[in-house]
Chains A and B, each alone.
Chain A
Amino acid sequence: MNPQQAATSIGEPNTIAIVFFLVFVGFTLAITYWAARKTKTTSEFFTAGGGVSAVQNGFALAGDFMSAASFLGIAGLVALSGFDGLIYSVGWLVGWPVVTFLIAEPLRNLGKYTFADVVAYRLKQTPVRISAAVGTLAVVSFYLIAQMVGAGNLIHMMFGLSYEAAVVIVGVVMILYVLFGGMIATTWVQIVKAVLLLAGATVLALMVLVKFSFNPLALFQAAADQYGPEVLAPGKLVSSPLEAVSLGLALMFGTAGLPHILMRFYTVPNAKAARGSVFYATGLIGYFYLVTFILGFGASVLLGRDAIKLVDKGGNMAAPMLAEAVGGKPFLGFISAVAFATILAVVAGLTLSGAAALSHDLWTSVVRKGKAPEHEQLRVARLASLGLGILAIFLGIVFKGQNVAFMVGLAFAIAASANFPALLLSMAWKGFTTRGAVASMITGSVSAVLFIFLSPTVQVDLLGHTEALFPLKNPGLVTMPLAFLVGWVVSLLSPEPTAAGRFDEVRHRMHVGAEADAPAPAVTPVPVSVPTSSPQTT
């Protein structure tokens, strides 16, 4: 056996990791038990009754976004190629300001549970809800598959559990959180996980930096001495500018279209808390990526690239191996348990947003035309969560051994092309129509799926063909403008006076908020009635 392989206990059943993980699961299930008693209404189930504070939601948003893949993947990429990992970190972060500026507040003021609430506000409910649900479920499914397959592999490698057992454990625990604790439990699981992940990564980084007198530059220099100055310069990751811009667009505007992120803005009491929560989330995620960058360099200097590649070719084990090297087996156990917990929390958030699309958009709004009683909505929401959880386990096992990395890109591409254009147009453009919205959402989803299928990622990397019909790995550069264009042209071709007439009402509620609507008739009924009546009389 190779001496470097003997130096790590990754892949062996790790008692300490399992104990840490059981403590985490036990603690979060206690939270779920507590949350279950508070989850009696649909609003509590989907949005924790709107009672989450800005700081709490900031941590939960960060938790939703900091997946195990971004922690382990970026650390691994930095460990193996240096600077290029930073390009990813930057790309994954820059969507957040856009979410703050364009989406967070209007979404909070206009909607209730899903982003379809906003798009459908002044349009015809049935067609808009159905197309929005298709986009949401597509994003959720692709993201879930990527997470479940990643979970199975990671846990197999870290804990020595079998792949199937790992997928089933993740699925079952996640179902328990969502089914019984709803958004209250999911939010707290995210907060606990975000704190553990940030604390674990920080301690690990400090343990690395102590060897370099707490100077990250000394660490980078050590890497440059060992592997040459090119580790501090851009490498092969960005080979084509078009490719880079396309991926950047999908990451930037995809964040503003991810259903589980958008849903979080309904958990806070008002627009001010919504904008505050993204500010906290942006700071936490930015900090986390900078720490991850240090971990990657730390792993390449302290462990060596060859040792990292021996355990996992993609470098995904760089951070856990580093934990073992600087903190011994207990610390490896802690970091492994945190990575496992991270996957659990992310799939719980995804499942809840999928359940909201199925129950709120499809069942309550389309099938029952908004007339479903509260207890029925809640029952359908729980059934949908259970169904999605079982589906996630099933898909995780079906896709065993498949390379599903492209599915995360696909989820972002659909979110950026199907969800974001329709959402932005419905909030900002008076002339947007039902047909325009449906056409834009369908064009976005279908073109994103089609172009990914025709891309080199699937055609060359996966199917082994020599060339691909569509040259870009990420289709965002084409599909996003296409969805905007189709939404615009179709709306112009078939104007919808009722939708345009209600735009002033939308604008009022989008800026002033729903809470101001309640006392408004008593004091002054003017703001809503005057603007809406004027276009109809002329």
Chain B
Amino acid sequence: MSQKTKAEELEALAAARWRVAAVLTAGTLVSYFGFILLVAFDKPLMGKQLAPGLSLGILLGALVIAAAWVLTGIYVLWANNTYDKALHQFRR
């Protein structure tokens, strides 16, 4: 492989990582601030009971916590499979 493609390869790799990181960060921001703004602007909606003991607010709050973990998991899966493989290719 020529030297120039090696530098380009790294640039593409770096760009891919920042892109994935940016999309997932945006996902976290949207889920969290979506929750907070609903709490701030529509308290009655968040207090609406979906089942005995379960309000929409409690469900969404628990979902934001779960989403934080799932988004982290998606990143780890992507990085462990796609990104690390590309890195391995690059190192050779």
Contacts and interface: CB of A to CB of B under 8 A. Distances in A.
Q: Do A and B bind?
A: yes
Interface of A: 83, 86-87, 89-91, 93-94, 96-98, 100-102, 105, 216-222, 224, 229-230, 232-234, 238, 240-241, 244-245, 248, 252, 272, 275-276, 278-279, 282-283, 286, 289-290, 428, 504, 507-508, 510-512, 516, 526-527, 530-531
Contacts of B35: 90
A526 B90 CA distance: 12
Given A217-B53, A275-B79, A238 B39 contact: yes
B53 A101 contact: no
B65 A290 contact: yes
Contacts of A87: 36, 39, 61
21 contacts: A83-B61, A90-B32, A91-B36, A98-B25, A101-B21, A101-B24, A217-B52, A220-B53, A232-B55, A232-B58, A233-B43, A233-B55, A238-B36, A241-B40, A252-B32, A286-B65, A290-B62, A290-B65, A527-B10, A530-B3, A530-B4
Given A241-B37, A276-B76, A234 B53 contact: no
Nearest to B9: A527
B49 A232 contact: yes
B52 A221 contact: yes
A511 B14 contact: yes
Contacts of A101: 20-22, 24-25, 28, 75
B71 A97 contact: yes
Interface in B58-83: 58, 61-62, 64-66, 68-69, 71-73, 75-76, 79-80
Contacts of B31: 94
Contacts of B39: 87, 234, 238, 244
Interface of B: 3-4, 6-7, 10-11, 13-14, 17-18, 20-22, 24-25, 28-29, 31-33, 35-37, 39-41, 43-44, 46-47, 49, 51-55, 57-58, 61-62, 64-66, 68-69, 71-73, 75-76, 79-80, 84, 87, 90-91
B75 A286 contact: no
Contacts of A218: 52-53
A232 B65 contact: no
Contacts of A508: 10
Contacts of A275: 75-76, 79
Most chain A beta-carbon neighbours within 10 Å: one of B22, B28, B39, B64: B39
B49 A516 contact: no
Contact of A282 (B3, B37, B72): B72
The 8 closest A-B pairs by CB, nearest first: A233-B47, A221-B53, A217-B53, A220-B53, A232-B55, A241-B40, A101-B21, A86-B61
Contacts of B84: 272
Given A94-B28, A94-B68, A244-B40, A272 B80 contact: yes
Contacts of B90: 512
Contact of A90 (B47, B54, B61): B61
A224 B53 contact: yes
Nearest to B77: A279
Contacts of B65: 89-90, 93, 286, 289-290
B14 A232 contact: no
Given A238-B39, A511-B87, A248 B6 contact: no
Given A96-B68, A230-B47, A527 B57 contact: no
A202 B40 CA distance: 31
Contact of A286 (B11, B40, B68): B68
B6 A527 contact: yes
A245 B76 contact: no
Contacts of A220: 53-54, 58
B47 to A, nearest CB: 3
A248 B32 contact: yes
A371 B27 CA distance: 45
A17 B58 CA distance: 34
Most chain B beta-carbon neighbours within 10 Å: one of A218, A278, A283: A283
Contacts of B3: 526, 530
Contact of B91 (A224, A232, A290, A516): A516
A224 to B, nearest CB: 7
A83 B58 CA distance: 7
Contacts of A234: 39, 43, 46-47, 57
Contacts of A289: 65
Contacts of A504: 7
A413 B51 CA distance: 38
A340 B50 CA distance: 39
B49 A229 contact: yes
A398 B17 CA distance: 48
Contacts of B53: 216-222, 224, 232
Contact of A531 (B7, B25, B49): B7
Contacts of B14: 507, 510-511
Contact of B57 (A86, A279, A530, A531): A86
A77 to B, nearest CB: 13
Contacts of A531: 7, 10
Contacts of B25: 97-98, 101-102
A507 B15 CA distance: 10
Most chain A beta-carbon neighbours within 10 Å: one of B20, B32, B43: B32
